[in-house]
Amino acid sequence: MAHLTQEQVEQFHRTGYLVVENLLDPVRDLDPVIAEYESVLDRLASDLFAAGEITSIYRELPFSDRLVKIYAESGMVFAQYFDFSLPQSGITEQTPFWTGPAVFNTIRSEAILDAIESLIGPEILSNPVQHVRLKPPEHLTPVDQKTGVVQLGATPWHQDLGVLNEDADESEIITVWFPLTDATIENGCLTVVPFSQHDGLLPHCPANAQNRTGFGVHIKEQHFDSQAAIPLPMKRGSALFMTKQTVHASLSNISEHVRFSFDLRYNPIGQPTGRGVFPPFIARSRSNPESELRDPDAWTNLWLEARRAIAAGEPPQFNRWDPFSPACA
């Protein structure tokens, strides 16, 4: 059992974050995920080679080196190819995603769910706002020719609630972030602002042609004390828990290797997830265990159905923020 201690729970609520070391077993829990993603990279390499986008599939290279080489030669970052969520725009019936059994088993990890139960209780929904992050070294990452910015760089300052719709404002959403390989300051570990959750939801700014102070949806630094931020290098097997209002970012990857991590989210069953068009599932229910989803194929089908519905309908709204707000000036 991996339930948190009372001291850990109190620290989480006081500071807005908690690092739990050795929560996951690197060999038992993480190696199967890495092996699964090696097969995904095989598929991507074969597709790109067949399309003439790369001159070799580079099977002889280790995973990190191979990913970097394929991205560099193709001139593109294929983050969506590996992700187990859909993007926020441009969804078609061909939009790629990956929902393999090793990923599914990790979302349903008993160790993770025990810790989550300590924070929100035993009726746990897997929130579909979840991602794998394969962040290559920035100096080896292709650049967007329109903006001059690397296609996948450091994540800007934000709160997870800031990238959700208003229906989740009262939901008790917990983020679990963990590295599958060691996360270091050099390869872009997370950095958090302790106690920032007590300031409520801060204004976020979507980047656009007029507002290039960040990318994606981000918080400008005049709205919080960025000097109070604490980098959190972590060994694989450790996990970081954060509230939905904890201000955080990632550092730049200035190493020679890919930073490989998951960020998962959970909330109590019955509470909105903040992206209603994406499929949640019941990960744990002490009151009704039969309602739990245990079949990875069924999980994949939920995402396939969501992709079809979104592609056939009006594009959903994912962003509540105005880039021309005075807060973004």
CATH of the domain at 309: 2.60.120.620
The model's confidence at residue 329, banded by pLDDT at 50, 70 and 90, is confident
DSSP type of residue 212: -
Residue 1 in domain:
no
Are 169 and 162 a contacting pair, CB within 8 Å?
no
Is beta strand 239-243 parallel, antiparallel or unpaired with respect to 17-20?
antiparallel
Round to whole Å and give the CA distance between 256 and 215.
23
pLDDT over 90 (residue 171): yes
pTM of the model: 0.95
Say how many domains are in the chain. 1
pLDDT digits over 298-321, tens only?
999 999 999 999 999 999 999 899
3-state secondary structure 131-164: EEEEECCHHHCCECCCCCCECCCCCCCECHHHHC
Q: Given this model, what pLDDT does residue 214 score?
A: 47
Q: Establish how many alpha carbons lie within 13 A of residue 98's alpha carbon, considering only the half-sphere containing its beta carbon.
A: 23
What domain range is 305 assigned to? Answer: 6-328
pLDDT digits (tens, 9 = 90+) for 223-276: 999 999 999 999 999 999 999 999 999 999 999 999 999 999 999 999 999 999
Residue 295 buriedness (CB in 10 A; 0-12 / 13-18 / 19+): exposed
Distances (CA, A) of 219 to 164, 170, 214, 228: 14, 21, 8, 15
In this structure, is residue 57 part of a structural domain? yes
